Amino acid sequence: MRDLLIMTPGPTEVSEEVRQAMSQKITNPDLDPDFFDYYLHTTAKLQKLLRTKNDTIIMSGEGILGLESACASLIEPGDRVLVLDNGIFGRGFADFANLYGADVELLEFPYERAIDPVKLQTYLAQDNDFKLATFVHCETPTGVLNPIAEITGILQEYEILTVVDAVSAIGGIPVEVDGWGIDIMLGGSQKCLSVPPGLTFMSISSAAWEAINERQTDIKGFYTNLKLWQNWYEKKFFPYTQAISDIYALDAGLDKWLADEGVFDRHKEIARAVRSSLTAAGLELYPETGYSDTVTAFCLPAGISYRQLNHIMTRKFAVMIADSLGQFGNKLLRIGHMGENCYEEKLYRTMRALDKSFHELGCNLQQSLAEVFMEEMN
Ligand SMILES: *Cc1c(COP(=O)(O)O)cnc(C)c1O
């Protein structure tokens, strides 16, 4: 494989330390008592990342497994679920909730802006009889960041359980699970922690466990059944054989993250410089408010396709950026500046590749992205 720099908003670049950790000799994770302690230590590191004392589990499967498991385990047929929708992942929660029989209320917000807490407050003043609400911290397809603390605070006034997808924010943007009172916080391995795709992790509050334990009906799923994870350590029991090599990788990724004191400042600084260079070059950012520090989405200039751009970027310059999903496919371009991607030299290489690729496609920028980026970083 060529040494392709993957500047996509997940999966991100994987460090040498993490790759080496993944290649360690394995044990039998179901039978070796030491592995239960190893797993417990890894979840303790996740608790530091999430700033929580809540139970934290790791499941074998990509981020989507976490989203579905939270819905499968909390929702009983007929339960009222409030889905906050200001993006593709936010809206996607409605599909999972429907699948498990929820009575879904979709509260829509404009996609190019962060969720407006005042609108939520006004809505809830009229109708607030919900078992849970779902929303997304960072809408990865559009690069919009939602004010998670304010939203959670409002939902808590009505004792509505909160399920938050922070898959593409955790590790790049500060989160405070206990400080904010989030019931289920969802993350994934392949975004800001820069561990290969394959694991999802989550914290589960005592209120969420209570709601799960008080169900009148069985959970319709096995892989998605969180109840099986209750007291796994005391029982020395995992519902299925753990992906031990992936967990070794996650543990190494967490060590690297925990040792990185300037991690949030670096995300902020780089995200700001990326946005400034794109706008200085005459490109249009997609969000109008709520810019994420982990991913930047901007409009694909008229007359070129993502396929053409990606071909030149990857073949000639060995850098990959992403387009977007759903209705934004071939309309938005996205640079992932999270985790291992979030270093000045990697963004510089990306901006230079973009400068040259746009030039080859006959698209004239008002200024050089790479030059403005370097000025902004000084
Ligand atoms: C990456 C991501 C997920 C996981 O989904 P995939 O697209 O399958 O990687 C879930 N939620 C958000 C917000 C994500 O960015």
How far is ligand 1, taken at its centre, from the CA of residue 93, in Å? Answer: 12
Q: Which domain holds residue 218?
A: 16-258
How far is ligand 1, taken at its centre, from the CA of residue 225, in Å? Answer: 20
What is the count of structural domains for the chain? 2
Mean pLDDT on 205-228: 98
Q: Kindly state whether residues 41 and 184 are assigned to the same domain.
A: yes
Q: Kindly state whether residues 22 and 168 are assigned to the same domain.
A: yes
Non-local CB neighbours of 100 within 8 Å, separated by 6+ positions: 71, 72, 75, 76, 77, 220
Domain end call among 200, 223, 258: 258
Q: Kindly state whether residues 208 and 75 are assigned to the same domain.
A: yes
Q: What is the DSSP letter of 170?
A: B
For tokens 């109708």, the residue is 127
Query: pLDDT (tens digit, 9 = 90+) per residue, 113-143?
Result: 999 999 999 999 999 999 999 999 999 999 9
Query: pLDDT (tens digit, 9 = 90+) per residue, 11-55?
Result: 999 999 999 999 999 999 999 999 999 999 999 999 999 999 999
Task: Check which CATH number belongs to the domain holding 172 and give it.
Answer: 3.40.640.10
Q: Kindly state whether residues 201 and 281 are assigned to the same domain.
A: no
Predicted confidence at residue 7, as pLDDT, reads 98
The pair of three-digit structure tokens given for residue 330, joined into one six-digit string: 């071939």
Candidate from 139, 165, 190, 324 with most ligand 1 atoms within 8 A of CB, to mutate: 165
Using the predicted structure, report yes or no on whether residue 276 has a pLDDT greater than 90.
yes
Atom 3 of ligand 1: nearest residue by CA position: 63
CA dist., res. 212 & res. 206, Å (int): 10
Q: Phi first, then psi: give them for residue 168, nearest 5 degrees.
A: -100, 10
CA dist., res. 145 & res. 247, Å (int): 28
Q: Kindly state whether residues 45 and 193 are assigned to the same domain.
A: yes
Q: Kindly state whether residues 228 and 365 are assigned to the same domain.
A: no
Using the predicted structure, report yes or no on whether residue 1 has a pLDDT greater than 80.
no
Q: Kindly state whether residues 42 and 173 are assigned to the same domain.
A: yes
Q: Kindly state whether residues 269 and 239 are assigned to the same domain.
A: no
290 torsion bin: left (phi>0), alpha (psi -120 to 50), beta (else): left
CA dist., res. 91 & res. 66, Å (int): 16
How many CA within 13 A on the CB side of residue 145?
Answer: 18
Per DSSP, the three-state class of 334 is: strand
Q: Kindly state whether residues 44 and 188 are assigned to the same domain.
A: yes
Using the predicted structure, report yes or no on whether residue 300 has a pLDDT greater than 80.
yes
263, containing H or E segment:
helix 263-280
Atom of ligand 1 nearest to the CA of 141: 15
Q: Kindly state whether residues 206 and 310 are assigned to the same domain.
A: no
How far is ligand 1, taken at its centre, from the CA of residue 168, in Å? Answer: 7
How far is ligand 1, taken at its centre, from the CA of residue 66, in Å? Answer: 10
Task: Check which CATH number belongs to the domain holding 361 and give it.
Answer: 3.90.1150.10
Q: Kindly state whether residues 112 and 236 are assigned to the same domain.
A: yes
The pair of three-digit structure tokens given for residue 261, joined into one six-digit string: 């004191």
Using the predicted structure, report yes or no on whether residue 80 has a pLDDT greater than 70.
yes
Using the predicted structure, report yes or no on whether residue 61 has a pLDDT greater than 70.
yes
Q: Is the CB of 89 under 6 A from ligand 1?
A: yes
Q: Is the pTM of this model over 0.85?
A: yes
Mean pLDDT of the chain: 97
The pair of three-digit structure tokens given for residue 251, joined into one six-digit string: 């543990």
How far is ligand 1, taken at its centre, from the CA of residue 216, in Å? Answer: 31
Predicted confidence at residue 273, as pLDDT, reads 98
Atom of ligand 1 nearest to the CA of 191: 1
Report CA-CA distances (Å) from 120 to 27, 110, 117, 320: 49, 13, 5, 38
Q: Is the CB of 62 under 6 A from ligand 1?
A: yes
Candidate from 69, 135, 140 with most ligand 1 atoms within 8 A of CB, to mutate: 140
Residue 5 pairs in a beta bridge with 319
Domain end call among 258, 292, 326: 258
Q: Kindly state whether residues 234 and 367 are assigned to the same domain.
A: no
Domain end call among 237, 258, 279: 258
Q: Is the CB of 10 under 6 A from ligand 1?
A: yes
Q: Are 141 and 173 in contact (CB under 8 A)?
A: no
Query: pLDDT (tens digit, 9 = 90+) per residue, 332-364?
Result: 999 999 999 999 999 999 999 999 999 999 999
Confidence label for 378 from pLDDT (cuts 50, 70 and 90): confident
